[in-house]
């Protein structure tokens, strides 16, 4: 007997094949999510996603979602490129979106909305000998992953200081929460992470902000919302609803700063002063600055040898501007 609580539809098909009756039973779950949305766990950049869920904005749009958490943006892109995708849309960084689109022919996504500008930082041990980027030489610095936003920020800091990755001891693959622990324990000298893990590194004056990412590049693009092209083609109305919720949640944050801060404190285990400092380091947006995105591509191609405008995974003959025209579609968010 099928329980009503399961809210599933029972379909029975009876096929007569050579005198044998075959019975096939299918359960179609009416509660299946309309859209699976990836996000980075504990990332204050993506506060709009937390706000939308907390305030019931998705339900008000009559869509059901499933949130799928990831450790970093590279993992998000790996999921997008998989033959069996675990997500349809995602909040994650523009840098890994670019890197994987240039390097993986299966990474068929389109960027549809902005999420934030700024919001990362290089945190170093609170040592008077570390005052500028040049002082990083020989130090052990951690990033969550290669080719993500924080890796890009570190490459710009090093480049501006006359250094390269060969001049530091780079640790890759440590989660931001573990970076905080490692800095406190003295096993690393610094790290680049997203908020609120930057402010958490300053607890008990163990660490200090050496550079906020906005010091390196003011109002740089950071997190975005993207969708797989197949999902966009077949579910444009759902995509529009998700973007409408994102815009609503972002506007709510900007108009209800203290209430949004309370959600951040609750979801990310922050004190009021920590949440205030971390949120002040982030610009919450939904529109996209295409000129800044074009500049982003130019900088990334210059600093990352793994990215080339001659990549066989993008249309031939593109430059930074025409690549953005191909990869980014602002029409959906602009129409809301």
Identify the pLDDT of residue 32.
Answer: 85
Q: Which two structure tokens, joined as six digits, stand for 229?
A: 């092209």
- Confirm if 204 and 117 have CB atoms less than 8 A apart: no
**Domains, the chain, with CATH or none:** 35-118+221-334 (3.40.190.10), 120-216 (3.40.190.10)
Q: Spell out the long-range contacts of 258-264 with Cβ–Cβ below 8 A and sequence spacing 24 or more.
A: 260/47, 260/51, 263/47, 263/50, 263/51, 263/54, 264/44, 264/47, 264/50, 264/196
- Confirm if 196 and 274 have CB atoms less than 8 A apart: yes
User: What is the rounded CA–CA span in Å between residue 150 and residue 162?
Assistant: 18
- Confirm if 92 and 76 have CB atoms less than 8 A apart: yes
Outline where 189-289 has alpha helix (H): 197-200, 213-216, 229-234, 236-255, 257-268, 272-280
- Half-sphere exposure for 89 (CA within 13 Å, toward CB): 28
Over the stretch 143-167, which tens digit does the pLDDT of each residue have? 999 999 999 999 999 999 999 999 9
The predicted model gives 124-143 an average pLDDT of 98
- Compute the Cα dihedral for 172, 102, 71, 219 and give only its sign: positive
Q: E strands, the chain, where?
A: 8-17, 20-29, 35-40, 65-70, 89-93, 109-114, 116-118, 120-125, 140-143, 169-172, 190-194, 207-212, 223-228, 282-284
pTM for this structure?
0.90
Q: How far are the Cα atoms of 88, 144, 220 from residue 290, in angstroms, in the given order? A: 23, 26, 11
For the cut 50, the answer to whether the pLDDT of residue 11 exceeds it is no
Over the stretch 63-105, which tens digit does the pLDDT of each residue have? 999 999 999 999 999 999 999 999 999 999 999 999 999 999 9
Tell me 112's DSSP state: E
For the cut 90, the answer to whether the pLDDT of residue 188 exceeds it is yes
**Predicted confidence band of residue 4 (pLDDT cuts 50, 70, 90):** very low
Neighbours of 223 (CB within 10 A): 30
Instruction: Say which residues have a Cβ less than 8 Å from residue 54's Cβ, sequence separation at least 6.
Output: 263, 267
Over the stretch 284-328, which tens digit does the pLDDT of each residue have? 999 999 999 999 999 999 999 999 999 999 999 999 999 999 999
Neighbours of 16 (CB within 10 A): 8
Neighbours of 299 (CB within 10 A): 18
């Amino acid at each position: 007997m099928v329980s009503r609580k399961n809210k599933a539809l029972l379909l029975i098909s009876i096929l007569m094949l050579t005198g044998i009756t075959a019975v096939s039973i299918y359960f179609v779950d009416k509660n299946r999510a309309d859209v699976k949305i990836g996000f980075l766990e504990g990332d204050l950049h993506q506060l709009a996603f937390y706000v939308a869920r907390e305030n019931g904005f998705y339900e008000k749009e009559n869509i059901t979602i499933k949130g799928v958490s990831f450790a970093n943006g590279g993992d998000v892109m790996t999921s997008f490129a998989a033959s069996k995708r675990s997500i349809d849309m995602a909040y994650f960084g523009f840098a890994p979106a670019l890197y994987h689109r240039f390097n993986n022919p299966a990474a068929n996504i389109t960027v549809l909305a902005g999420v934030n500008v700024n919001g990362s930082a290089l945190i170093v041990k609170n040592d008077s000998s570390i005052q500028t980027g040049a002082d990083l030489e020989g130090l052990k610095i951690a990033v969550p992953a290669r080719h993500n936003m924080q890796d890009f920020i570190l490459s710009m800091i090093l480049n501006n200081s006359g250094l390269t990755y060969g001049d530091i001891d780079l640790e890759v693959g440590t989660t931001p929460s573990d970076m905080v622990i490692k800095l406190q324990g003295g096993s690393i000298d610094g790290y680049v992470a997203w908020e609120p893990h930057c402010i958490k590194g300053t607890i008990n004056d163990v660490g200090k902000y050496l550079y906020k990412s906005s010091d390196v590049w003011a109002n740089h693009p950071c997190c975005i919302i993207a969708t797989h092209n197949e999902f966009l083609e077949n579910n444009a109305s759902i995509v529009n609803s998700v973007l409408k919720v994102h815009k609503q949640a972002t506007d709510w944050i900007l108009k209800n700063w203290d209430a949004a801060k309370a959600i951040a404190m609750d979801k990310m285990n922050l004190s009021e002063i920590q949440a205030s400092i971390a949120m002040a380091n982030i610009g919450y947006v939904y529109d996209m600055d295409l000129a800044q995105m074009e500049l982003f591509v130019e900088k990334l191609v210059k600093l990352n040898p793994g990215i080339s405008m001659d990549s066989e995974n993008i249309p031939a003959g593109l430059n930074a501007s025409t690549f953005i025209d191909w990869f980014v579609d602002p029409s959906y968010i602009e129409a809301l």
